[in-house]
Protein backbone atom coordinates (compact mmCIF):
# COMPACT_ATOMS: atom_id res chain seq x y z
CA UNK A 1 0.00 0.00 0.00
CA UNK A 2 1.24 3.50 -0.85
CA UNK A 3 1.76 5.70 2.21
CA UNK A 4 2.55 8.92 0.35
CA UNK A 5 0.09 11.19 -1.45
CA UNK A 6 0.20 10.80 -5.22
CA UNK A 7 1.42 13.91 -7.04
CA UNK A 8 1.41 14.75 -10.72
CA UNK A 9 4.45 16.04 -12.57
CA UNK A 10 3.47 19.61 -11.64
CA UNK A 11 3.59 18.75 -7.94
CA UNK A 12 -0.19 18.76 -7.47
CA UNK A 13 -1.52 16.16 -5.00
CA UNK A 14 -4.31 13.75 -5.94
CA UNK A 15 -6.83 13.72 -3.09
CA UNK A 16 -10.27 13.37 -4.64
CA UNK A 17 -12.17 11.30 -7.17
CA UNK A 18 -15.17 12.94 -8.85
CA UNK A 19 -17.45 10.13 -9.99
CA UNK A 20 -20.19 10.57 -12.55
CA UNK A 21 -22.42 7.57 -11.82
CA UNK A 22 -24.86 8.23 -14.69
CA UNK A 23 -25.29 10.42 -17.75
CA UNK A 24 -29.08 10.33 -17.32
CA UNK A 25 -30.97 13.29 -15.86
CA UNK A 26 -34.56 14.30 -15.21
CA UNK A 27 -33.74 17.99 -15.80
CA UNK A 28 -32.74 19.77 -19.02
CA UNK A 29 -30.66 22.69 -17.75
CA UNK A 30 -29.75 25.16 -20.48
CA UNK A 31 -26.05 25.17 -19.52
CA UNK A 32 -25.47 21.50 -18.65
CA UNK A 33 -21.80 20.52 -19.12
CA UNK A 34 -22.45 16.80 -18.41
CA UNK A 35 -19.11 16.60 -16.60
CA UNK A 36 -17.35 17.37 -19.87
CA UNK A 37 -18.58 14.13 -21.46
CA UNK A 38 -20.10 13.89 -24.94
CA UNK A 39 -23.88 13.78 -25.27
CA UNK A 40 -25.57 10.40 -25.20
CA UNK A 41 -26.50 7.80 -22.62
CA UNK A 42 -23.49 5.87 -21.34
CA UNK A 43 -23.38 2.42 -19.81
CA UNK A 44 -23.10 2.41 -16.02
CA UNK A 45 -20.78 0.64 -13.61
CA UNK A 46 -22.20 -1.82 -11.06
CA UNK A 47 -22.28 -1.40 -7.30
CA UNK A 48 -19.53 -4.04 -6.95
CA UNK A 49 -17.33 -1.95 -9.25
CA UNK A 50 -17.55 0.97 -6.81
CA UNK A 51 -16.50 -1.32 -3.96
CA UNK A 52 -13.32 -2.11 -5.96
CA UNK A 53 -12.78 1.55 -6.87
CA UNK A 54 -13.22 2.65 -3.26
CA UNK A 55 -10.66 0.15 -1.98
CA UNK A 56 -8.20 1.13 -4.72
CA UNK A 57 -8.57 4.78 -3.77
CA UNK A 58 -8.07 4.03 -0.08
CA UNK A 59 -4.81 2.20 -0.77
CA UNK A 60 -3.60 5.21 -2.76
CA UNK A 61 -4.50 7.68 -0.02
CA UNK A 62 -7.45 9.13 -2.00
CA UNK A 63 -10.03 9.33 0.78
CA UNK A 64 -12.67 11.61 -0.70
CA UNK A 65 -15.18 11.08 -3.51
CA UNK A 66 -17.96 13.24 -4.91
CA UNK A 67 -20.79 11.59 -6.84
CA UNK A 68 -22.32 13.49 -9.75
CA UNK A 69 -24.30 12.79 -12.93
CA UNK A 70 -26.28 13.53 -14.94
CA UNK A 71 -28.41 13.30 -11.83
CA UNK A 72 -26.92 10.73 -9.43
CA UNK A 73 -30.13 10.22 -7.45
CA UNK A 74 -31.86 8.93 -10.57
CA UNK A 75 -29.99 5.64 -10.13
CA UNK A 76 -32.16 3.17 -8.21
CA UNK A 77 -29.03 1.70 -6.58
CA UNK A 78 -27.51 5.04 -5.53
CA UNK A 79 -27.82 4.20 -1.82
CA UNK A 80 -25.87 0.97 -2.40
CA UNK A 81 -23.23 2.86 -4.39
CA UNK A 82 -22.77 5.30 -1.50
CA UNK A 83 -22.49 2.42 0.96
CA UNK A 84 -19.93 0.63 -1.23
CA UNK A 85 -17.68 3.69 -1.34
CA UNK A 86 -18.25 4.89 2.24
CA UNK A 87 -16.89 1.66 3.71
CA UNK A 88 -13.48 2.60 2.26
CA UNK A 89 -13.37 6.42 2.19
CA UNK A 90 -13.45 9.16 4.82
CA UNK A 91 -15.90 11.32 2.89
CA UNK A 92 -18.49 10.59 0.21
CA UNK A 93 -20.58 13.53 -0.98
CA UNK A 94 -23.13 14.08 -3.74
CA UNK A 95 -23.98 16.92 -6.10
CA UNK A 96 -27.66 16.74 -7.03
CA UNK A 97 -30.48 18.80 -8.52
CA UNK A 98 -32.39 17.93 -5.36
CA UNK A 99 -35.53 16.57 -7.00
CA UNK A 100 -35.37 13.22 -5.17
CA UNK A 101 -33.51 14.47 -2.11
CA UNK A 102 -36.40 14.63 0.37
CA UNK A 103 -37.15 10.96 -0.32
CA UNK A 104 -33.57 9.69 -0.33
CA UNK A 105 -31.69 11.85 2.20
CA UNK A 106 -32.40 9.58 5.22
CA UNK A 107 -31.33 6.45 3.33
CA UNK A 108 -28.21 8.15 1.96
CA UNK A 109 -27.21 9.39 5.41
CA UNK A 110 -27.62 5.89 6.85
CA UNK A 111 -25.46 4.51 4.02
CA UNK A 112 -22.59 6.82 4.98
CA UNK A 113 -23.07 9.94 2.86
CA UNK A 114 -21.45 12.95 4.57
CA UNK A 115 -22.45 16.01 2.54
CA UNK A 116 -24.79 17.21 -0.19
CA UNK A 117 -24.39 19.96 -2.78
CA UNK A 118 -27.71 21.06 -4.28
CA UNK A 119 -27.91 22.93 -7.58
CA UNK A 120 -30.31 25.84 -7.21
CA UNK A 121 -30.07 28.24 -10.18
CA UNK A 122 -32.73 30.70 -8.97
CA UNK A 123 -35.13 31.38 -6.10
CA UNK A 124 -37.69 32.67 -8.60
CA UNK A 125 -40.03 29.81 -9.63
CA UNK A 126 -40.42 31.01 -13.23
CA UNK A 127 -36.71 31.64 -13.73
CA UNK A 128 -35.94 28.28 -12.12
CA UNK A 129 -38.30 26.52 -14.55
CA UNK A 130 -36.89 28.35 -17.57
CA UNK A 131 -33.34 27.28 -16.66
CA UNK A 132 -34.02 23.66 -15.67
CA UNK A 133 -37.08 22.80 -17.74
CA UNK A 134 -38.81 21.56 -14.57
CA UNK A 135 -41.13 23.28 -12.09
CA UNK A 136 -39.57 21.92 -8.94
CA UNK A 137 -38.28 24.82 -6.82
CA UNK A 138 -40.47 24.07 -3.78
CA UNK A 139 -39.64 20.38 -4.00
CA UNK A 140 -35.90 21.09 -4.10
CA UNK A 141 -36.09 23.48 -1.13
CA UNK A 142 -37.93 20.74 0.78
CA UNK A 143 -35.09 18.38 -0.11
CA UNK A 144 -32.59 20.83 1.37
CA UNK A 145 -34.66 20.94 4.57
CA UNK A 146 -34.78 17.14 4.88
CA UNK A 147 -31.04 16.81 4.13
CA UNK A 148 -30.34 19.31 6.90
CA UNK A 149 -32.50 17.32 9.31
CA UNK A 150 -30.50 14.21 8.36
CA UNK A 151 -27.24 15.97 9.31
CA UNK A 152 -25.85 15.97 5.78
CA UNK A 153 -23.95 19.09 6.72
CA UNK A 154 -22.57 21.47 5.82
CA UNK A 155 -24.98 21.68 2.89
CA UNK A 156 -23.83 23.60 -0.15
CA UNK A 157 -26.15 25.49 -2.50
CA UNK A 158 -24.62 25.66 -5.98
CA UNK A 159 -25.68 28.38 -8.40
CA UNK A 160 -24.31 28.89 -11.89
CA UNK A 161 -24.18 32.66 -12.37
CA UNK A 162 -25.90 33.81 -15.57
CA UNK A 163 -26.20 37.30 -17.05
CA UNK A 164 -29.40 38.20 -15.17
CA UNK A 165 -28.11 37.13 -11.73
CA UNK A 166 -28.06 40.14 -9.38
CA UNK A 167 -26.93 40.98 -5.88
CA UNK A 168 -30.59 40.70 -4.91
CA UNK A 169 -30.62 37.11 -6.16
CA UNK A 170 -27.51 36.41 -4.11
CA UNK A 171 -29.14 37.88 -0.99
CA UNK A 172 -32.14 35.54 -1.41
CA UNK A 173 -29.83 32.54 -1.60
CA UNK A 174 -27.91 33.74 1.45
CA UNK A 175 -31.20 34.01 3.35
CA UNK A 176 -32.10 30.43 2.38
CA UNK A 177 -28.63 29.21 3.34
CA UNK A 178 -28.88 30.89 6.76
CA UNK A 179 -31.96 28.78 7.59
CA UNK A 180 -30.08 25.53 7.07
CA UNK A 181 -26.52 26.47 8.08
CA UNK A 182 -25.62 26.01 4.43
CA UNK A 183 -22.94 27.46 2.18
CA UNK A 184 -23.50 29.26 -1.11
CA UNK A 185 -21.23 28.49 -4.04
CA UNK A 186 -21.20 30.92 -6.98
CA UNK A 187 -20.03 29.09 -10.10
CA UNK A 188 -18.90 30.84 -13.25
CA UNK A 189 -20.61 29.54 -16.40
CA UNK A 190 -18.33 27.03 -18.09
CA UNK A 191 -17.94 26.87 -21.90
CA UNK A 192 -18.41 23.08 -21.89
CA UNK A 193 -21.29 20.96 -23.14
CA UNK A 194 -24.42 23.08 -23.60
CA UNK A 195 -22.56 25.82 -21.73
CA UNK A 196 -20.37 26.30 -24.80
CA UNK A 197 -23.46 27.00 -26.91
CA UNK A 198 -24.85 29.68 -24.57
CA UNK A 199 -21.58 31.05 -23.17
CA UNK A 200 -21.40 34.21 -25.29
CA UNK A 201 -25.04 35.03 -24.55
CA UNK A 202 -25.32 34.12 -20.86
CA UNK A 203 -21.84 34.38 -19.34
CA UNK A 204 -21.50 36.91 -16.54
CA UNK A 205 -18.13 37.71 -14.94
CA UNK A 206 -18.15 37.40 -11.16
CA UNK A 207 -16.37 40.68 -10.39
CA UNK A 208 -19.54 42.59 -9.38
CA UNK A 209 -20.57 39.89 -6.94
CA UNK A 210 -17.05 39.57 -5.57
CA UNK A 211 -16.88 43.33 -5.02
CA UNK A 212 -20.15 43.15 -3.07
CA UNK A 213 -18.83 40.29 -0.93
CA UNK A 214 -15.60 42.19 -0.28
CA UNK A 215 -17.73 45.02 1.15
CA UNK A 216 -20.06 42.99 3.34
CA UNK A 217 -17.98 40.00 4.47
CA UNK A 218 -16.65 39.87 8.00
CA UNK A 219 -13.83 37.48 7.06
CA UNK A 220 -12.27 35.76 4.07
CA UNK A 221 -10.14 32.66 3.56
CA UNK A 222 -8.92 30.52 0.66
CA UNK A 223 -9.73 26.82 0.25
CA UNK A 224 -6.98 24.42 -0.72
CA UNK A 225 -9.09 23.09 -3.61
CA UNK A 226 -8.59 25.36 -6.64
CA UNK A 227 -7.52 28.18 -4.30
CA UNK A 228 -11.19 29.14 -4.11
CA UNK A 229 -11.86 32.33 -2.13
CA UNK A 230 -14.55 32.02 0.57
CA UNK A 231 -16.32 35.00 2.13
CA UNK A 232 -17.74 34.65 5.65
CA UNK A 233 -20.77 36.84 6.32
CA UNK A 234 -21.91 38.23 9.67
CA UNK A 235 -24.75 35.67 9.85
CA UNK A 236 -22.25 32.83 9.50
CA UNK A 237 -23.06 31.95 5.87
CA UNK A 238 -20.02 31.28 3.70
CA UNK A 239 -20.04 32.24 0.01
CA UNK A 240 -17.49 30.45 -2.16
CA UNK A 241 -16.31 31.62 -5.58
CA UNK A 242 -15.67 29.09 -8.36
CA UNK A 243 -14.14 31.01 -11.27
CA UNK A 244 -12.01 28.75 -13.42
CA UNK A 245 -12.31 30.24 -16.93
CA UNK A 246 -8.85 31.50 -17.92
CA UNK A 247 -7.67 31.15 -14.31
CA UNK A 248 -4.27 29.41 -13.92
CA UNK A 249 -4.42 29.70 -10.14
CA UNK A 250 -7.61 27.63 -10.14
CA UNK A 251 -5.92 24.88 -12.14
CA UNK A 252 -2.70 25.09 -10.12
CA UNK A 253 -4.57 23.92 -7.02
CA UNK A 254 -6.70 21.17 -8.56
CA UNK A 255 -6.42 17.87 -6.69
CA UNK A 256 -8.89 15.56 -8.47
CA UNK A 257 -9.42 13.18 -11.34
CA UNK A 258 -12.77 12.17 -12.82
CA UNK A 259 -14.47 8.86 -13.50
CA UNK A 260 -17.17 8.56 -16.16
CA UNK A 261 -20.27 6.36 -15.78
CA UNK A 262 -18.77 3.77 -18.14
CA UNK A 263 -15.45 3.52 -16.32
CA UNK A 264 -13.05 5.96 -17.98
CA UNK A 265 -10.73 8.03 -15.79
CA UNK A 266 -10.12 11.56 -17.05
CA UNK A 267 -7.40 13.91 -15.76
CA UNK A 268 -9.55 17.04 -16.21
CA UNK A 269 -13.09 18.06 -17.16
CA UNK A 270 -11.67 19.90 -20.18
CA UNK A 271 -9.55 17.02 -21.51
CA UNK A 272 -10.83 14.05 -23.50
CA UNK A 273 -7.84 11.72 -23.23
CA UNK A 274 -8.66 9.13 -20.59
CA UNK A 275 -7.76 5.75 -19.12
CA UNK A 276 -10.33 2.95 -19.05
CA UNK A 277 -10.69 0.66 -16.03
CA UNK A 278 -13.10 -1.67 -17.86
CA UNK A 279 -10.54 -4.45 -18.23
CA UNK A 280 -9.88 -4.38 -14.49
CA UNK A 281 -13.44 -4.99 -13.41
CA UNK A 282 -13.70 -8.48 -14.88
CA UNK A 283 -10.80 -9.77 -12.76
CA UNK A 284 -10.95 -11.36 -9.32
CA UNK A 285 -11.43 -8.76 -6.57
CA UNK A 286 -7.81 -8.41 -5.43
CA UNK A 287 -6.44 -8.39 -8.97
CA UNK A 288 -9.14 -5.89 -9.97
CA UNK A 289 -8.14 -3.56 -7.11
CA UNK A 290 -4.47 -3.75 -8.11
CA UNK A 291 -5.40 -3.07 -11.73
CA UNK A 292 -7.51 -0.01 -10.82
CA UNK A 293 -4.61 1.28 -8.72
CA UNK A 294 -2.35 1.10 -11.79
CA UNK A 295 -4.96 2.91 -13.88
CA UNK A 296 -5.31 5.72 -11.34
CA UNK A 297 -1.53 6.13 -11.27
CA UNK A 298 -1.57 6.21 -15.08
CA UNK A 299 -4.23 8.92 -15.30
CA UNK A 300 -2.46 10.91 -12.60
CA UNK A 301 0.56 11.05 -14.89
CA UNK A 302 -1.69 12.67 -17.54
CA UNK A 303 -2.80 15.45 -15.23
CA UNK A 304 -1.69 18.97 -16.09
CA UNK A 305 -3.19 22.42 -15.55
CA UNK A 306 -5.55 23.37 -18.38
CA UNK A 307 -4.64 27.03 -17.82
CA UNK A 308 -0.99 27.70 -17.02
CA UNK A 309 0.86 30.76 -15.81
pLDDT value at 206 more than 80:
yes
pLDDT for 309 equals: 74
2 assigned to some structural domain: no
Q: How confident is the model at residue 272 (pLDDT cuts 50, 70, 90)?
A: confident
Q: Give a three-class secondary structure readout of the chain.
A: CCCCCCECCCCCECCEEEEECCCCCCCCCCCCCHHHCCCCCCCCCCHHHHHHHHHHHHHCCCCEEEEECCCHHHCCCHHHHHHHHHCCCCEEEEEECCCCHHHHHHHHHHHCCCEEEEECCCCCHHHHHHHHCCCCHHHHHHHHHHHHHCCCCCCEEEEEEECCCCHHHHHHHHHHHHHCCCEEEEEECCCCCHHHHHHHHHECCCHHHHHHHHHHCCEEEECCHHHCEEEECCCCCEEEEECCCCCHHHHHCCCEEEECCCCEEECCCCCCCCEECHHHHHCCHHHHHHHHHHHHHHHHCCCCCCCCC
User: Per-residue pLDDT tens for 42-51?
Assistant: 899 999 999 9
Does residue 1 lie within any of the structural domains? no
Q: Is residue 217 part of a domain?
A: yes
pLDDT per position as a tens digit, 213-237: 999 999 999 999 999 999 999 999 9
Confirm whether 6 is domain-assigned.
no
Q: Is the model's pLDDT at 2 over the cut of 70?
A: no
**Number of domains into which the chain is organized:** 1
Instruction: For residue 140, name the pLDDT band (cuts at 50, 70, 90).
Output: very high
Each residue's pLDDT tens digit, 241-268:
999 888 999 999 999 999 999 999 999 9
Mean pLDDT over residues 91-107, rounded?
Answer: 98
Q: Mean per-residue pLDDT for 121-144?
A: 97
Domain of residue 270 covers 16-300
- The verdict on residue 284 lying in a domain is yes
Using 50, 70 and 90 to split pLDDT, how confident is the model at 20?
Answer: very high
CATH at residue 275: 3.20.20.70
For residue 4, name the pLDDT band (cuts at 50, 70, 90): low
Q: What is the CA radius of gyration of the chain?
A: 19
In a domain, 84, yes or no: yes
What average pLDDT score do residues 131-138 get?
Answer: 97
Assess whether pLDDT exceeds 90 at residue 190: no
In a domain, 308, yes or no: no
Q: Is residue 306 part of a domain?
A: no
Amino acid sequence: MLTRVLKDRFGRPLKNLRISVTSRCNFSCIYCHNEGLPKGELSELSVSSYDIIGEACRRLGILSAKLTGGEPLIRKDIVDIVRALAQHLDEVSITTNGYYLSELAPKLANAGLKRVCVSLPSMDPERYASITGVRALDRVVKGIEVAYECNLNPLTINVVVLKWFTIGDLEKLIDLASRYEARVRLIELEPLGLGAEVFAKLHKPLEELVAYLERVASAKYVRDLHARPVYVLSNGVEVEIVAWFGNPRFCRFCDRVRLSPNGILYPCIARRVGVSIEECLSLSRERAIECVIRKIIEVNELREPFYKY
